[in-house]
Amino acid sequence: MTRNIIITACLSIVLVTSCIKDSSEPLASDYIIFGHFYGECKGEQCIEIYRLENDILFEDSSDRYPDSQNFYDGKWVDLSRDKFDAAKDLVNFFPADLLDEPGTIIGQPDAGDWGGLYIEYSLNETRRFWLLDQMKSNVPEKYHGFIDKVNEKIEKLQ
């Protein structure tokens, strides 16, 4: 009898604690737009912007240089399932601290022809965008891993 009570109590504890939400879970998003841009560059690969939404990855076909005052307005073309699979976990690396940034420009994106990143994040009523410097010495260290991950994803998609 005592043994059954102990087993029942242990199982109850396991069930209850397995339902507690882990605070390190990635942020959910309606979509995330990410890409790089280089002003002093020639060719199609100078501006690569992607939109990851639901189970689809899109690429912008207009390749416009991002504006620091407005959201990116792309012409989206859907990509293959393989490309989606290569990028689908990017939102897991999105640093929540970006949502607390007061401005849209972090560092000096593309100031010395080293390029910049465009990041746009949308979830429910929150929609924000940022231009991040590719020169990590100009950006807070807390964003370095995300910058690396975005560049890794772009490289896999090209």
User: Could you give the 3-state DSSP secondary structure of residue 3?
Assistant: helix
Q: How many residues can be counted in the chain?
A: 158
Quick check: is 48 in a domain?
Answer: yes
50 found inside a domain: yes
Residue 58 lies in a domain: yes
Task: Report pLDDT digits (tens) over 89-133.
Answer: 999 999 999 999 999 999 999 998 899 999 999 999 899 999 999
Tokens coding 65: 């240089």
Boundaries of domain holding 134: 28-157
Q: Which regions of 1-158 does DSSP assign to beta strands (E)?
A: 31-37, 47-53, 56-60, 76-78, 105-106, 116-123, 126-133
pLDDT for 49-62, tens place per residue?
A: 999 999 999 999 99
Place of tokens 């293959």: 80
- Position 19 in a domain: no
How many domains does the chain divide into? 1
Confidence of residue 11 (pLDDT cuts 50, 70, 90): very low
Is residue 1, in this structure, part of any structural domain at all? no
CATH number at residue 127: 3.30.1560
Quote the pTM value.
0.80
CB 66 within 8 A of CB 150: no
Q: Is residue 9 part of a domain?
A: no
Percent of the chain with pLDDT over 70: 82
In a domain, 8, yes or no: no
The answer to whether position 20 is within a domain reads: no
- For 78, other C-beta atoms within 10 Å of its C-beta total 13
Could you write out the DSSP letters of every residue in 7-33?
A: HHHHHHHHHHHHTSPPTTPPPP-SEEE
